[in-house]
Structure 1
Amino acid sequence: MIIGGTNLDSVIFDLDGTIWDPVDTVLQAWNKAIQHHIDLETELTREDLESIMGLQIHDIGEKLFPHVEETTRLLMLEDCFEREVDELKEHGGALYDQVEEVLEDLSQRYKLFIVSNCQDGYIETFYMFHQLEKYFEDFENPGRTGLSKGENIRLVMERNNLEQPIYVGDTDGDRKAAAYAGIPFVFASYGFGEVSDYEKRIETFGEMIEI
């Protein structure tokens, strides 16, 4: 597999909007949590959650609840994150088409990883519900490290002695993280974001095999 003239040895994936769509499950959890902290005239929508995919907790709070006092906002979001993990343990998210087939194929030739902007326990819940942990060598997130996505990509690269990885994600934040880590970016255009600058673009998860 060659991209941009580079022989690859590994693939690092984003999670939300790249491997699965958890929004419908997460939306239920968040609306239940929020009503215990503030009064909202209307509940959050799927579009609201899609708009904050890939952001870290401080940025999510500012975008969705700019008029809520910061301390309350952070407590509320922490409650949202706890409840979403519970809901995902029970209901999971929607895997994109051909995910397990593609992961099984790629894992026979490359080392696979996940780096996502999420809380500690979130990726483990994905593994648990869909039984896909066997395809991945390692994962990282800011909930464990407190680092940015770009820093976490570098951490995974260093920890696993990766020489020529690529990063696959669906948002411009993913692109910036890959650039920070100094590796090529593959844009999953079926996800939640819009990106104009990338090395490769895929319209479906299945195209990971083709590129």
Structure 2
Amino acid sequence: MTDIDLLIFDLDGTLVDSLDDIVSSVNHTLPQLGLDILSRDEIQSYVGDGIKMLLIRAVGTQADVSDDLVERARKIYYEHHEQHCLDHVHMYPNALEVMEHFRSKKKAVVSNKSERFTKKILEGLGLASYLDLIIGGDSLSSKKPDPLVIEHTVSLLKVEKRKTVMIGDGHQDIQCGKSAGVITCGVTYGFKPVEDTKDADFSINDLMELKNIFR
């Protein structure tokens, strides 16, 4: 067992499955720009680096990407997602059980999703009350994989890096954790291919497995 004082979770693809609502908002946005909708699998492959990059990738499949077009897409997406980000989102199995198990430990969510949607989802699903800190992709001057977001979290919560674990489904999470000098744990059930987290210190197929690795 590995002793820890802080668990940092990614959101999408780690704590919650939000893909259906992301797909819905992207495919609401594209036709309003005169573009065709995309498949669920294609949109899934674009998730992980924040909403702006998601839209650049989605729009870029059919049009020349310009700042103006991306800004138009962002406004449409935000307006729709504000109303629909809780339509289908749900926690992965054992998310609440793990929060309860580690109640005595500090816990944070560090996501590349915008802070407003990150908080809205966590509050809507009843997870926010378990967390000491919530950071979105626009909360700081940079986002994952920049280690700044973890360094900021560790500093604010006054814990040691060697007793901190970053848990996520994407290479951004693992790279961020390693660059920051914390323990890393990949999840195999998320949005990203398993290879994305092959360099993690630990790997889990279910959040409940965290109870057998960390104390």
Q: Same fold (TM over 0.5)?
A: yes
Alignment-mate amino acid for residue 28 of structure 1 = S
**Deviation digits for residues 11-35 of structure 1, max 9, x if unmatched?**
0000000001111122112211222
Paired with 1:78 and 1:159, the residues of 2 have a C-alpha distance of: 32
Correspondence for 2:95: 99
Correspondence for 1:64: 58
- Give the Å deviation of 1:205: 1.3
Q: Is the 8 A contact 1:52 1:60 kept in 2?
A: yes
Structure 1, unpaired ranges of 5+: none
Correspondence for 2:166: 167
Q: Is the 8 A contact 2:165 2:182 kept in 1?
A: yes
Structure 2, unpaired ranges of 5+: none
The 5 A counterparts of 1:27-42 are: 27-40=23-36
Alignment-mate amino acid for residue 118 of structure 1 = K
Correspondence for 2:12: 16
| 3-state SS of paired residue (1:134) | helix
Correspondence for 2:44: 50
- Give the Å deviation of 1:44: 1.9
| 3-state SS of paired residue (1:143) | coil
**Deviation digits for residues 47-82 of structure 1, max 9, x if unmatched?**
122212221345334433323332202330343134
| 3-state SS of paired residue (2:85) | helix
Paired with 1:80 and 1:26, the residues of 2 have a C-alpha distance of: 9
Correspondence for 1:127: 122
Please state if 1:112 is matched with 2:107: yes
Alignment-mate amino acid for residue 153 of structure 2 = V
Paired with 1:203 and 1:120, the residues of 2 have a C-alpha distance of: 27
Correspondence for 1:141: 136
| 3-state SS of paired residue (2:32) | coil
Paired with 2:38 and 2:58, the residues of 1 have a C-alpha distance of: 9
Please state if 1:196 is matched with 2:198: yes
Q: How many aligned positions are there?
A: 203
TM superposition score normalised by structure 2? 0.87
Distance 1:154 1:38, change over 3 A: farther
Q: Is the 8 A contact 2:119 2:134 kept in 1?
A: no
